[in-house]
Amino acid sequence: MDQKKSASRYGILVATLASVAFGFAANGSFASPIKPLRAFYEMELGVADQKSNIQVINGRSAFTLSRDCDGWLSSEDYVIEFGGAEGNVDRVMSSFESWESNAGDKYSFDITEQSSFDAAKDFNGYAIAASDGGEAFFSLGADGPTKLPANTYFPMRHLTAILRHAESGQKILAASVFTGAEPDDALLATNTVIGSWNESHASDVLGGFATQGYWPVRVAYFKPKAKAAEPEYEINYALQPNGVIRNYEIDYGEFTIIAKMLKIEEVEEPSCR
């Protein structure tokens, strides 16, 4: 896989990673829904096969989940470097912000991105979803609104559904997910597989956010009209009942990126009537 293409595709994942980093079941039955918080991750190369030009990956990200009285806000700032076999290094720096309504029917996003191999990007968009379809609007690259399929999920609603499936013992969830990105990459078809409950003590880093176990979750992402059996990428993560992700791994097929939590802290909640 071309190194610059790999770095660019990682940039596409910002909104997706925000959706897996933490979640809250807005109207769910969970006894201890998580509070707004901020977390810091370190990223590194997992494994790379012989076809991959990627030899070294180093990165950091800071993710914040907060809320206002009408919905949830998330932001992620990250920098990541990809080292190639010939010693060349590509860097991507990005800032992503999004808002999703409590009802899960409205979503907006803003993205700025700089890299060592492409022009700087600064764009935004918003989307409206309904049971019979919806529309997405972008500030660049699209002629008019993009149609969304019926029952499209936004990131928080998608994670809520995964949590509910896990709690009830359901193992499979297929959904169209709009994450927010450039028009060709914003809408993806997903297939989620939820593993059996795993009793395991969490790292001390989690502190008061730790639970006594987690569900292993694997989400495969496909282009909506893709005919190939192989996904664009997959994300594996350890999902706690309170919605916190202990760690995650992005699998591109030719190489993987591992993200480990460094720190987590609470964020103040608003006072809403």
Q: Residue 86's pLDDT is what?
A: 83
Q: Residue 53's pLDDT is what?
A: 86
Rg over alpha carbons for the chain, rounded to the nearest Å, is 18
Could you list the beta-strand ranges (E) of the chain: 37-48, 54-67, 71-84, 89-101, 106-115, 121-130, 133-138, 146-148, 172-178, 187-194, 198-199, 213-222, 233-239, 245-251, 255-266
Tens digits of residue pLDDT in 14-24:
445 555 554 44
Residue 180 is classified by DSSP as -
- pTM of the entire structure? 0.86
Residue 243, CA distances (Å) to 51, 106, 240, 250 in order: 36, 21, 5, 19
Determine the Cα–Cα distance for residues 3 and 246; give it in Å rounded to an integer: 28
pLDDT classification of 37: cutoffs 50, 70, 90? confident
Q: Residue 33's pLDDT is what?
A: 52
Residue 209 is classified by DSSP as G
Helix or strand or coil: residue 156? helix
Tens digits of residue pLDDT in 96-114:
999 999 898 999 999 999 9
Written as one letter, the residue type at 187 is L
β-pairing, 89-101 vs 37-48, is: unpaired
Q: Residue 187's pLDDT is what?
A: 92
More confident call, 134 vs 13: 134
Read off φ and ψ for residue 16, nearest 5 degrees. Answer: -65, -40
Tens digits of residue pLDDT in 177-186:
998 888 888 9
Q: Number of C-alpha atoms within 13 angstroms, CB side, residue 81?
A: 6
Q: How many CB atoms lie within 10 A of CB 65?
A: 24
Determine the Cα–Cα distance for residues 244 and 246; give it in Å rounded to an integer: 6
Q: Which residues pair with 80 in a beta bridge?
A: 59, 92
